[in-house]
Amino acid sequence: MSLSKQLLVLISALFLMIFSVNIILSINNSRSYLEGEAKIHAQDTATSLGLSLSPYMHNETDPVIKTIMNAIFDRGYYQQIRLLNVEDQVLVTLSNKKVFEGVPDWFVKLIPMKTVVAESEISTSWSISGMIYVTLNPSYAYLKLYQQAVRSFYYSLSAFILSISLLFLLLRITLSPLKKINQMALNIAKGHFQVIEHLPWTTEVRNVTLSMNIMSSKLAAVINNLNTKLDGIGRKLQQDELTGLNKKESFHTEMERLRVSGIDAFVMFIKIDQLSALALKLNDASIDQFINEFADILIRVTEQTNQGEILAYRFGGSKFALLMQQATQKQAEQVALQLSHYFSELGKKHQQADIAHIGVTAVNHLNSSESILLAANEAYKQARLIANNGYYIRTRGDQAKDIEEWKNLIFKIVDDQSYQLNFIGQTEDFPTGQLLMEEVFTQAFDAQGKLIAIGTFVSIAEQLEKIADLDQGIGLKVIEYIKTNNIRHAIAINLSINTIKNIAFRSWLSSVLMRNKKISQQLVFSISAYAVTKEVKVYQEFIDFLHKLNARVMIKRFDTQSMSAEVIEELRPDFIRLSRDLSEGIAKDQEKKAFVETILAIGELLDIDILAENIQAEDDYIYIKNSGIAGASR
């Protein structure tokens, strides 16, 4: 029961008690008053009547006696008037049993009143000649008493209703800030740190509100500081320490984004061929300066060109890359030519005719980023054969299978559900030592029984709009696997952005989860961090949809380049799984340790479990296990 209802019930009970006591006392006082008045009135009547009859009592049969008595009796206030002579013989008896209408019997029985009888001696010539007895009719007193009780009841009831109405309004005004405080606490639990600007006027509630505002502001400051720290550490981890260019891991993340969005792009693989020769002639500082000059050329090209967006990367040592987005082959050739010119100028400065070569290839979204890099490397090898500081552009080749063949193959595999599910990435729950989660990995084979690259398979399924059907089939197989094998741990299921947007899939998923409520908590739907940032609102709405169905969500491959900490606050997933690069070598990398410590602090504040995956080195695994991370796979 709410506080307002409790107060209403308590105050109503107190009011009812006071009201009842007041009514009882009022009725008793009125009854006592009426009885006293009746006694006085009866005695006055008896005395007056005795005096009036005194002159006529010498003749007991005198008709004047009865006439006088009738005149008094006819007023209607009397139940009986009796006249007795000195020998106690009844001379005259007048009776009236009249009962006033409007007084219920239960009222008469509940509140009995004494029947007042007054008497008076009648004297004639200094001797007693008789007695007169006057009995008042109590019906009149009952009528007055009942009318008084009814008026008191309705007055009290009106006062009660008015008081309760005012009390209700007062309680609503007084306690409404408590609802705001409750909602504020719930929002804080969800990671939304707001404050109540309009403070309540009640002192105690005002103080509580101020305390909550202070707490919310401090938590918001803590989260903001952690976010800033996380972004700063993340940028350091993603950037090359010497040149400030992004590392290879960032390149792979951006390639995944391009695959999801389907944007045309070109990759330029660039390698400094004469770095070893220069190292023999120059000291370390001079080599670092040369590499920075080389990196500055790449940065200059990204800033000067209007040929779409260009990102520069250093893969380590003498290897660099450019990623041109929304570019044509002609535009890519113009950039390569510009780079070749700048490299020649740098070579003249250092007395080196041949500095670097450029291999260019178009991005095929059906291939992995590693395959695309291999193609760019092949182009680089061709460039070395052409000219000093030269470039070579690898043109788009035909796909291994034409689109019609892919369509028939994909439709057959998806419709027949002829793919296989493997459960990989067994994640240990560190606090309990038990299995926390497995991840579904899908394998599909062509007509010759050869394994199809899963990235290619999923990409074509997305293009053919069969990805939602594929994800439905995988979901049904996972549910059957859990129920058949009595699985107790969670199973992670990867979902495509096209599936998440599919209304029919959501309707299907809702009905399936409603039918399988007992295992819905074991289903963890996994989404990649790089995909989320493109459409945060879509994913936020989908995560809320899953939480209402008691399912859970994991964001995988998390790093600050693919997703900011602010987005985590909006999405509120159940799990965050760090990218593999963050856990690789963490035992000896202070920046990675600081990153993990920061994301753990954010996870604790937002009630999100942090996971790691594919830990190889034993010292890394030991550190991860002792760091506070919920679980990891090896």
Contact 249, 369 (CB under 8 A): no
Give 269's strand partners.
321, 359
Per-residue pLDDT at 497: 86
How far apart (Å, rounded) are the C-alpha atoms in residues 566 and 506? Answer: 26
Q: Nearest to residue 368, comparing CAs of 262, 466, 534, 255?
A: 255
Contact 632, 427 (CB under 8 A): yes
Residue 531 tokens read as: 């995909």
Per-residue pLDDT at 575: 95
Q: Does domain 18-162 have CATH number 3.40.140.10?
A: no
Question: Where in the sequence of the chain do the CATH 3.30.70.270 domains occur?
Answer: 248-394
Q: Nearest to residue 419, comparing CAs of 405, 431, 429, 409?
A: 409
Per-residue pLDDT at 396: 59
Per-residue pLDDT at 25: 82
Contact 213, 220 (CB under 8 A): no
Question: Where in the sequence of the chain do the CATH 3.20.20.450 domains occur?
Answer: 403-632
How far apart (Å, rounded) are the C-alpha atoms in residues 58 and 122? Answer: 11
Contact 64, 89 (CB under 8 A): no
Low-confidence ranges of the chain (pLDDT < 70): 1-4, 76, 98-101, 190-191, 307-308, 396-403, 560-562
Per-residue pLDDT at 611: 95
Per-residue pLDDT at 400: 44
How far apart (Å, rounded) are the C-alpha atoms in residues 492 and 513? Answer: 15
C-alpha 479 chain-centroid distance: 27
Per-residue pLDDT at 206: 77
Helix ranges restricted to H, 329-466: 329-349, 369-384, 403-416, 454-463
Per-residue pLDDT at 401: 47
Question: Dihedral angle at the C-alpha atoms of 553, 557, 560, 562, nearest 10 degrees?
Answer: -90
Per-residue pLDDT at 403: 66
Residue type, 575: F
Pairing of strands 356-362, 420-429: unpaired
CATH of domain 248-394: 3.30.70.270
Per-residue pLDDT at 476: 94
As its CATH architecture, domain 403-632 has Alpha-Beta Barrel (3.20)
CB-based burial label for 192 (10 Å; 0-12, 13-18, 19+): middle
Residues making up the chain, counted from first to last: 634
